[in-house]
Chain A
Amino acid sequence: EVQLMESGGGLVQPGRSLRLSCTASGFTFGDYAVSWVRQAPGKGLEWVGFIRSKAFGGTTDYAASVAGRFMISRDDSKSVAYLQMNGLKIDDTAVYYCTRDIGNYGGKRGGTADYWGQGTLVTVSS
């Protein structure tokens, strides 16, 4: 059974850093891209970014709202993806989901989140 589990959320002050983890099981993690999607309280979904599989360079893309502050990485030996969040702002308060992506072959086109974790809440507040 495919499972994704986020961890590392919590309360953090503005300007500080936090690292989220996404631990996968039930599939060959290294074969897939991983995305992060967030949802502010009572709001819609916002794509944060994703990391391609190593077969397609392990490269990343980000939303403009987080580019330069957030960084996605992966450790395929542990079946874990990370979202390093620096310079956190109050507007970054959200539930953060990681997803398994299918259908991306290295470019900017294609890719669908077919499995999602349950999400972890990040609250940025002083």
Chain B
Amino acid sequence: DIQLTQSPASLSASIGDRVTITCRASQTVTKYLNWFQQKPGKAPKLLIDGASDLQGGVTSRFSASGSGTHFTLTINTLQREDFATYYCQQSFTVPRTFGQGTKVELK
């Protein structure tokens, strides 16, 4: 199975900060990498697929890049509604796997 390792596991940030989350795959997933946001008690929400394609309706504060085994999700000008847990997921092959999550908390 392809392992996805996110870093950091958690981070504290302030409103207006720029934060970057990294996702590393144990083997190449080319560009089959998705990012999800999950708030407490809610279902995850798809933010980005294809490593860098922002979903319709998702704010452009979110951006992502990468290919192969190294990917990043960047949140510019952090807003209160962005405090959540973020997961990467590969859809290169089955079983699809998720990273362990990165919790973004208010400093």
- Using CB atoms and an 8 Å cutoff, list the residues of chain A in contact with chain B: 35, 37, 44-47, 49-50, 61-64, 97, 103-104, 108-114, 116-119
Count of CB-CB pairs between chains A and B under 8 Å: 62
- Using CB atoms and an 8 Å cutoff, list the residues of chain B in contact with chain A: 1, 32, 34, 36, 38, 43-46, 49-50, 55, 87, 89, 91-101
Does B46 contact A112, Cβ atoms closer than 8 Å? yes
- Which B residues lie within 8 Å of A113 (CB)? 34, 36, 44, 46
- Which A residues lie within 8 Å of B36 (CB)? 45, 113
- Report the 3 A-B pairs with minimum CB-CB distance, sorted nearest first: A116-B43, A61-B94, A112-B49
Q: How far apart are the CA atoms of A61 and B94 in the complex, in Å?
A: 7
Question: Do most interface residues of chain B lie in helix, strand or loop, or is the interface mixed?
Answer: loop
Query: Which of B1, B32, B38, B94 lies at the interface centre, i.e. has the most chain A CB atoms within 10 A of its CB?
Result: B94
- Which B residues lie within 8 Å of A49 (CB)? 95
Contact A47 to B89, CB < 8 A, known contacts A61-B95, A110-B32, A114-B55? yes
Smallest beta-carbon distance B72→chain A, Å? 18
The listed residue (B43, B49, B55, B98) touching A103 by CB distance below 8 A is B49
Does A116 contact B44, Cβ atoms closer than 8 Å? yes
- Which B residues lie within 8 Å of A117 (CB)? 43
